[in-house]
Structure 1
Amino acid sequence: MIIKDLSLINYKNFDSINLEFDDKINCLVGQNGIGKTNILDSIYHLAFGKSYFNPVTSQNINHDADFFVIEGDFFNGEKNEKIITSFKKGQKKIIKRNGKIYDKISDHIGTIPLVIISPTDRDLILEGSETRRKFMDGVISQGDKIYLNELLKYNKVLSQRNALLKYFAANRTFDQTSLDVYDDQIVGIGQNIFEKRQNFIEKFLPILQARYSEISHSREEISLTYKSQFKEKTGFSEILKSGLKTDLQRQYSNFGTHKDDLIFKIKKHSVKKFGSQGQQKSYLVALKFAQYDFLKSQHGMKPILLLDDIFDKLDEDRVKQIVQMVSKSDLGQMFISDTHPERTEEVVKQNANQYKMINLEA
């Protein structure tokens, strides 16, 4: 998959801009605050129907405007795809594919396979389980619409169950029959989600281990473990019932696949607690390139790769390794953002024959 050109109107700091891209490597350069990351985010927005950095849609509109439009022309190896995402204050967001409006934005997920590597990805290691679940769900959902729909159903039921728990507390009442309606769905849908997540990890782990070895030049043993309450020996229905007292006290559902987590380890030790900065960075880059490989195998096409501000977050050797990997025939189109044009071009020129420099200050 490649994006050939991009047009923005009132998106973040841009009033209007039109850009054409190279099929292989595109380097977005310029001072901080000029909009390099916003260009990358607009491409992400076309793929997922939302911003990677700010999920509040209205906050992605340029100041003094009341709407934005993002338009991109893609080529998937067989045909052209025109994707338009637009939003006006007070109205629903619209995504069009080749002129046809989607009924549900979720139907668009997976059309544009894409991977982004950003400084904010450190949250995958440092923050709580929700961040890691979102990563896992995002990878699976790009290639499995049934899974995405199950996930949306589960979250809706979970929200309804939590609302019922709050109702019980506010009115000092309790109705087991009403609760059972939601519990049955939590267990049924949750079982399907658990099985697909477990199957994903089994396929994903060897890809991750291979990428880590390539990026770090290391023989360190790494692991990725899926942690879920569904792995408990007792049935999940029993776990749900045994936790009812806690749920009623906290007015929140404390048991289910919404509590799942991923455990990252190097040499059998937590990457978060014991990994050096270099090891954490290598693990994160390996995680994203493994995501790339997995999506490529699922879609049968090369995803777009967005690298945001990596020169300031990774040492130059790691950046060179990344560019070398992307320059190989098994990887497709890549975007790099950086504040130093000379540094970027020097590294890219050493490792790639085909690239385009885009200076946003010009």
Structure 2
Amino acid sequence: MYLQQLSVINFKNYSEAELIFSEGVNAFTGNNGAGKTNLLDAIHYLSLCKSYFNPIDSQQIKTGTDLFVINGVFNKDGHKETIACGLKRNQKKQFKRNKKDYQRLADHIGLFPLVMISPYDISIIIEGSEERRKFIDNVISQTDNKYLDELITYNKVLTNRNALLKRIADTGRYDPELLSVFDEQLIASGNLIFEKRKAFMEAITPVFNKHYQFLSGDAEQVDLVYESQLLQGDFTDLLKKSTEKDRILERTTVGIHKDELQFAIHGMPMKKFGSQGQQKSFLIALKLAQYTYLYQQKGFKPLLLLDDIFDKLDDNRVTKLMQMVSNHDFGQVFITDTSAAKVEGIFDKINVGLKIFKIAGGEIDGQN
């Protein structure tokens, strides 16, 4: 699978643009603020129905205009698929595949899988456990739309159970029957989500280790560990044992909403003891493991988007990374960088061809 063509109208800083892509490596180069990352975000919209960077769709509309439109043409096994996304201010976002509207945007997720690596990903390391759970959930959702439905159900039941615990505390009236109903619903969805997460982590952990050791030249020992209360015991038993604690704290203290990923380097927390280059290498290895997982699950190669990827990496790791993503295990790649000469030099060094788009102020020049 690859993206042949992209066109945007009134999207972020672009009034209008149309690009024809190479099946291999495509690079957007230009000064900071020129609009390189905005093109990656437009591609992200086509795959996942939303911005990678900003959850508010209306804020993607170019200032002074009333709507944005993104169109893309994908090639899957020689067959063309057209995807269109549009939004008018104060109206519902429209999404079409081959000119047909979707009933649910969730039905589109996973048809055109994509992996984005961006400086914003540092939040996976430095922020709270919710960011790391979100990473897991976003990947699995691209391979299993039923997983997303279970996640929505779980969070809805969790909200209701927490509201009941608060009401019990406020009124002093204990309602064990209603609590039992919520427990059963929580257990049903929670167990399914847990099994999916556990299988996902078992699949990507060895791949992650292989990618990191390649990037670092076997220079560092890192660990990626999935932690879940459900690894320690049956969810039903855990909920029963935590009932009194939950009533005191007025919230549900056990379940998959407490799952965590631990990142370590030489046995110490990556967040505190990893350099910027080591943290970036860790994230890249994690995202490339995500790519491998999607490839194995879908049976075809996702798109790979690398935003400002060379910053904070030494020359050796940059070369190794580009060698890795340019080989037969990866498909179409999109890269952003401030220097066209730098990108050309890197790919000349590893003897890999690329197509460069030079961006300046929302205009695209010099397509080669």
TM value normalised by structure 1: 0.93
Aligned residue pairs, count: 361
Instruction: Give distance in 1, aligned partners of 2:47 and 2:172.
Output: 46
Amino acid at match of 1:340: S
Aligned pairs (5 A) from 1:321-336: 321-336=320-335
8 Å contact kept, 1:296–1:303: yes
Post-superposition CA distance 1:72-91 (Å, at most 9, x none):
11112241111112222332
Aligned to 1:348: 347
Name the stretch that deviates more: 168-177 or 183-192.
168-177
Instruction: Give distance in 2, aligned partners of 1:84 and 1:338.
Output: 27
**Mapped pair 1:32 → 2:32:** yes
Secondary structure (helix, strand or coil) at the match of 2:112 reads coil
8 Å contact kept, 1:28–1:338: yes
Post-superposition CA distance 1:95-151 (Å, at most 9, x none):
211112111111111111111111111111111111111111112221122222222
Aligned pairs (5 A) from 1:125-164: 125-164=125-164
Instruction: Give distance in 1, aligned partners of 2:26 and 2:112.
Output: 18
Name the stretch that deviates more: 101-110 or 140-149.
140-149
Q: CA deviation at 1:162?
A: 3.4
Aligned to 2:301: 302
Aligned to 1:290: 289
**Mapped pair 1:113 → 2:113:** yes
Provide the aligned C-alpha RMSD in A.
2.0
Aligned to 2:237: 238
8 Å contact kept, 1:119–1:313: no
Q: CA deviation at 1:173?
A: 4.6
Name the stretch that deviates more: 265-274 or 278-287.
265-274
8 Å contact kept, 1:67–1:89: yes
Amino acid at match of 1:264: F
Going from structure 1 to structure 2, the CA distance change for 1:265 and 1:171 (only over 3 Å counts) comes to same
Aligned to 1:218: 218
TM value normalised by structure 2: 0.91
Amino acid at match of 2:289: A
Q: CA deviation at 1:287?
A: 0.7
Aligned to 2:258: 259
Instruction: Give distance in 2, aligned partners of 1:60 and 1:171.
Output: 46
Amino acid at match of 1:134: K
Instruction: Give distance in 1, aligned partners of 2:8 and 2:141.
Output: 27
Post-superposition CA distance 1:237-295 (Å, at most 9, x none):
33324434554455443321111011122333322232233322221111111111111
Aligned to 1:278: 277
Instruction: Give distance in 2, aligned partners of 1:253 and 1:180.
Output: 13
Q: CA deviation at 1:346?
A: 1.5
Going from structure 1 to structure 2, the CA distance change for 1:56 and 1:167 (only over 3 Å counts) comes to farther
Aligned to 2:310: 311
Q: CA deviation at 1:160?
A: 2.9
Post-superposition CA distance 1:169-222 (Å, at most 9, x none):
566654332222222111111011111111111111111111111111115443
Aligned to 2:204: 204
Aligned to 2:66: 66
Going from structure 1 to structure 2, the CA distance change for 1:158 and 1:94 (only over 3 Å counts) comes to farther
Amino acid at match of 2:90: G
Going from structure 1 to structure 2, the CA distance change for 1:46 and 1:172 (only over 3 Å counts) comes to farther
Aligned to 1:98: 98
Aligned pairs (5 A) from 1:9-24: 9-24=9-24
Aligned to 2:192: 192
8 Å contact kept, 1:306–1:335: yes
Going from structure 1 to structure 2, the CA distance change for 1:230 and 1:99 (only over 3 Å counts) comes to same
8 Å contact kept, 2:13–2:35: yes
**Mapped pair 1:86 → 2:73:** no
8 Å contact kept, 2:223–2:263: yes
Instruction: Give distance in 2, aligned partners of 1:67 and 1:305.
Output: 28
Structure 2 portions without partners, runs of 5+? none
8 Å contact kept, 2:276–2:312: no
8 Å contact kept, 1:133–1:260: yes
Going from structure 1 to structure 2, the CA distance change for 1:76 and 1:183 (only over 3 Å counts) comes to same
Instruction: Give distance in 2, aligned partners of 1:194 and 1:249.
Output: 26
Amino acid at match of 1:337: T
